Structure 1
Amino acid sequence: MHHADILGCVPEPDFFVHETAIVEDGATIGAGCSIWHHAHIRTGAELGPGCVIGKNVFVDAGVTVGARCKIQNNVSVYSGVTIGDDVFVGPAATFTNDLVPRAFSSDWTVTETMVRTGASVGANATLVCGNDLGAYSMVAAGSVVTNDVADHALVVGNPARHRAWVCRCGNVVSRDAARPSDLSCAACRHERAS
């Protein structure tokens, strides 16, 4: 029996929640997470271990966020979004979840979005729902993603278009349109088989 149980106390959680944050009953928070000012984590949301959830972040019911993710200030992660491990979401990035939103319609259809392992979403980027951001892909700040993004692709603009291929660490390894067979990076010496 745990010592705290003997004393009738509740053990301290193994994560940090700022006093102004709301974590609803039924949310699952992984060990080592930090949830900052005015964040709101809904019932049924799942945060993997080691996540950092910034100021004024909203994580909706049913959302899964993988391990070691960083979601910066003023991001809303709505129902239908799944975020893999080691993902970075920059400040004020926007996720949508309905392709035909109308205030007067009761026909609300959630369209899923997947952000795969190691992807990065730049500040103020908008991700239209129904797209898949590939592993280690990068979305430049302010871009509007309207299509799937390939693994290791860097996309830029409105609409977001392919500009380069990036290493796991984020450095550009090729500006060719075709994906290179070798995505090694001189900066970190990481190699990835095609």
Structure 2
Amino acid sequence: MANIHPLSEVQSKNIGSDTIIWQYCVILKNAVIGNNCNINCQVFIENDVTIGDNVTIKSGVQIWDGLTLEDDVFIGPNVTFTNDLIPRSKKYPEIFAKTVVKKGASIGANATIIAGNTIGENALIGAGSVVTKNIPAGTVWFGNPAEQKGIIDTNGTITYL
């Protein structure tokens, strides 16, 4: 059973066991969240969202329609995802761009992930980075725009280029 703080508004019934949802979160009814996740305070999760098992989402993150976070993903505080490549007030695309963060990837605080990109398995995005393209598995990226700076193994050891 999920542990949901009473000061959160959780409409979804699709939340796995041992998931913790902290105060001041809003989770819409069609969102799917796996087991053993940690959803920190002040997180907003829209409808067309799938979150795997063992995912950590730190405070101040919005998970918009079209986003998938696979198992074992870490999303740092105030990471920004987009889902509309041509945003206009009161004009919505027929389909929002799909963004996927693959298994074991980590995204550092305040990074921005532009819609329609895939972050590869076990990739590491540094804090404050702006991701404008697909990121290969097992690579380290940071900067604005983000550039590859190294590779990372499954133990978290980084080899810089």
Same fold (TM over 0.5): yes
1:39 is aligned with what amino acid? C
1:175 is aligned with what amino acid? Y
Whole-Å separation in 2 of the counterparts to 1:43 and 1:15? 15
Q: What does the per-residue CA deviation read over 1:101-124, in whole Å, with 9 as the maximum and x for residues that have no partner?
A: 011534464000000000000000
Whole-Å separation in 1 of the counterparts to 2:27 and 2:123? 26
Counterpart for residue 18 of structure 1: 5
Check if 1:113 corresponds to 2:103: no
Q: Deviation at 1:171?
A: 2.0
Unaligned runs of 5+ in 1: 1-13, 177-194
Q: What does the per-residue CA deviation read over 1:133-184, in whole Å, with 9 as the maximum and x for residues that have no partner?
A: 0000000000000000000110000000000000123220x334xxxxxxxx
RMSD: 1.2
2:121 is aligned with what amino acid? A
Unaligned runs of 5+ in 2: none
Q: Which has the larger radius of gyration?
A: 1
TM-score between both structures, scaled by the size of structure 2: 0.96
TM-score between both structures, scaled by the size of structure 1: 0.80
Whole-Å separation in 1 of the counterparts to 2:27 and 2:55? 15
Whole-Å separation in 2 of the counterparts to 1:107 and 1:79? 11
Within the candidate set 168, 171, 175, 2:160 is matched to 175
Q: What does the per-residue CA deviation read over 1:6-33, in whole Å, with 9 as the maximum and x for residues that have no partner?
A: xxxxxxxx11000101110x43010000
Higher relative contact order (CA 8 A, sep 6+): 2
Counterpart for residue 97 of structure 1: 83
Q: Is the 8 A contact 1:154 1:162 kept in 2?
A: yes
Q: Is the 8 A contact 1:17 1:36 kept in 2?
A: yes
Check if 1:157 corresponds to 2:143: yes
Within the candidate set 15, 31, 43, 1:45 is matched to 31
Stretches of 4+ moved more than 6 A in 1? none
